[in-house]
Amino acid sequence: MISTILEFVKNPHPSQLISAVKELPTNSKYALLGNTAKILLQQLSKNLQPGSIVVEVGIYLGSSTAILARANPNIEVHSYDLFDDHPYDDIHDQLLATAFGAKKDRSLVNVASLLTQYSNVTLNQVEYLKEPIFDKEIDMFIEDASHCDPQLTNTLEHWIPKIKINGILLIHDYRPWLKEGEHRCFPSVNYHVNRLMKDDNWKFYGEVGSYAVFERIK
Ligand SMILES: C[S@@+](CC[C@H](N)C(=O)[O-])C[C@H]1O[C@@H](n2cnc3c(N)ncnc32)[C@H](O)[C@@H]1O
């Protein structure tokens, strides 16, 4: 199933791509993601069974959240973020102004206001390096937070054991073609992707839209 979806995402027929893009939520324009990444989230979400549990860590203005929730209203999307003032992109101020108008910050309440139409979403504010209690097994886990340690190691150690067999793990900002020191090269992301690639509990499907894509196989 994953291979078929990845094939579609990497080489879509133009007419299929047009309908996939039309199905993206309007607030996907605030995503710190490229188009391939958006379509990947949409297609993986769409193919999940009803009742599936998706967890994402790092949501910024909730665009990835909206893409997942809209693609499949029958799944639960549990989203975690610091909801702090740190600018995660060069166009941070511009994105905030467009999303919220003047003088609004990236609080949970303000981000939630962009997601009111998705009743399958739960937003959660976390503190740095304090991992939340979560007692369900996970069908898809998406890591897109600081991409640096100690946060990345902490987050993966906490969440990975909760991923089901045949569950999906996505780690964002994986660009194996970049050299260390280059803009958008994250050594901690590379470290964990290389580690999981060698772990026989995981099948690695490669990089798609700057996500490292894994499936738990045992
Ligand atoms: C690259 S952005 C996420 C982009 C988002 N997925 C999208 O679709 O646009 C990184 C986010 O990770 C959050 N973050 C950073 N450290 C975190 C942590 N320890 N736990 C949860 N979220 C964190 C930041 O607040 C920020 O919103």
Domain boundaries along the sequence of the chain: 2-216
Tell me what pLDDT residue 20 has: 95
Give the bridge partners for 202, in sequence order.
216
Is 40's C-beta closer than 6 angstroms to any atom of ligand 1?
no
CA distance 9 to 39: 6
Tell me what pLDDT residue 87 has: 86
Predicted TM-score (pTM) of the model is 0.97
Tell me if 216 sits within 8 A of 163, measured CB to CB. Answer: yes
Tell me what pLDDT residue 81 has: 98
Distance between first and last Cα of the chain = 17
Ligand 1 centroid, distance to 59 Cα (angstroms):
5
CA distance 218 to 203: 9
Please say whether the structural domain 2-216 has been given the CATH code 3.30.1490.20: no
Q: Whose CA is nearest to atom 27 of ligand 1?
A: 60
Q: What's the chain's length in residues?
A: 218
Is 88's C-beta closer than 6 angstroms to any atom of ligand 1?
yes
Is 64's C-beta closer than 6 angstroms to any atom of ligand 1?
yes
Task: Provide the residue-wise pLDDT of the chain in tens; the chain has 218 residues.
Answer: 899 999 999 999 999 999 999 999 999 999 999 999 999 999 999 999 999 999 999 999 999 999 999 999 999 999 999 999 888 888 888 899 999 987 789 999 999 999 999 999 999 999 999 999 999 999 999 999 999 999 999 999 999 999 999 999 999 999 999 999 999 999 999 999 999 999 999 999 999 999 999 999 99
Ligand 1 centroid, distance to 84 Cα (angstroms):
9
Q: How many CB atoms lie within 10 A of CB 108?
A: 16
User: Which of 44, 77, 81 most suits a substitution to test ligand 1, by most atoms within 8 Å of the C-beta?
Assistant: 81
Under DSSP, the state recorded for 174 is -
